[in-house]
Amino acid sequence: MFGLASFIRRNYQASYPKEVPKHGTAIRFGLLGATDIAPLALITPAKTHPDVIIAAIAARDRKKAAAYAKKYKIPIVHPNYQALLDDPAIDAVYIALPNAYHLEWATKALEAGKHVLLEKPSVANAQEAATLFRNPLLSKPNSPVLLEAMHFRFHPAWQKLLSLIDQESIFEAHSTQHAPKGLVPLYGNVCKFKLAGGCLLWFGTFNVASLRQVFGAEPVECSDASCDRVPPGNDQEIDRAFSATWRFINGAVGSIEVDMMADGGYSWPLTSEIPTIALPKLTIKHRDVVVEGDLPSDQEHTVTKTVTMWAWSFPFFYHRIDVENKHVVRTRLDGKTVKEWSEIAYVKDYAGDSGVDSWTSYRFQLEEFVAKIRSKPGTGVWVEGEDSISQMKMIDIAYTKAGLPLRSSSAKS
């Protein structure tokens, strides 16, 4: 009962936080686009940050921008994106436009001297990522801050997971995510190739990032990749679901399984088209470790660690980390099992060392973004530009392996 009460309290406070007084020198954000994700990703987290004000918005449809501003109490509505960037009172921008517009508007924002919180995926392909994150403007003194908003990495639960694994001993990791059928409309931007849509790039980018973090390395190759395309009659260059396997150093293997229109998977009859409800799951298996102990000389004791994180991509809502150590005593000669047992620990971490348990991963991310702008130390969690470039390289090789064309920013805003 206490666990349920805590769950309800945390999520209520995360959704309806008490707004704190703002500093006179607070960072003034402008929103590019009247997007569905901005309330969760920035507007609500900003309420509890004394150094952040959501000051302005611009959208292609000014009436939509005005209605959005009224709903979320944003004081200024600019007639277009460039007008917002030209506003000297705006310090930073949040960009959650369709993927095909990220490179153009992130670059223009940097040229206007604005800090940029850029929704994932950063851009449409690795070449564009290199163009953006190696922009000479970013290497100048007092340059703007640019961050790809890979929010889950900033949550204490994810950092706790990383502390519980031994990267050099991992031989297999599998990352899954399923959005129930009906959540993503076929007519939406994610299902348009000209807007750099697709399941892997939009949804699976989290899974790719999870593998790169778990292994702490880049893959040697993409050994296998396949996809299910959206139904006939729709853009056939768009992947609805995607599976891929990459080979890492020391023979380790990482794989993902993602579906943004998932159905079925239930054990009951007549359920094949019912939307799938499943928590994101990340399973990390380590190699056997020999344990020294007081055993007969013809026996060997090994321990195999498996770490599983449930709901890893949105850990603020709920998560659980299962740490299982499986012990086996075998005879050395023929490998016959003499004895086996398991030890399991369940770990959670909602607040970390300096946060609040009702903070979302977006709120923790905002804390680090502001700290970087203010040249404060923060926690050390960050997504470097070269990291974002490597992220897109790993996605590109998977699309190529699956026989799909790379996405690009060919669309004009």
pLDDT in tens, 308-328: 999 999 999 999 999 999 999
Closest by CA to 244, choosing from 263, 228, 231, 261, is 228
385 confidence band (pLDDT: 50, 70, 90): very high
Q: 84, 92 in Cβ contact below 8 A?
A: no
Cα separation, 255 vs 247, whole angstroms: 9
Whether residue 409 is predicted with pLDDT greater than 90 in this model: the reply is: no
SS3 114: coil
What is the overall mean pLDDT for the chain?
Answer: 96
Phi, psi values for residue 7, rounded to 5°: -60, -45
In the numeric block, which tokens belong to residue 239?
Answer: 């992947």
User: Which residues of 215-310 form beta strands (DSSP E)?
Assistant: 221-229, 239-247, 253-262, 281-286, 289-291, 299-310
Q: Convert the pLDDT of each residue in 192-236 to its tens digit.
A: 999 999 999 999 999 999 999 999 999 999 999 999 999 999 999
Tens-place pLDDT, residues 324-364:
999 999 999 999 999 999 999 999 999 999 899 999 999 99
162 DSSP assignment: H
Name the DSSP class of 317: T
pLDDT > 90 fraction of the chain, expressed in percent and rounded:
93
Residue 281 CA to residue 320 CA, distance in Å, equals 10
Q: Span 26-31, mean pLDDT?
A: 98
| Least confident range of 181-190, 207-216, 251-260, 311-320 | 181-190
Average pLDDT over residues 131-142: 96
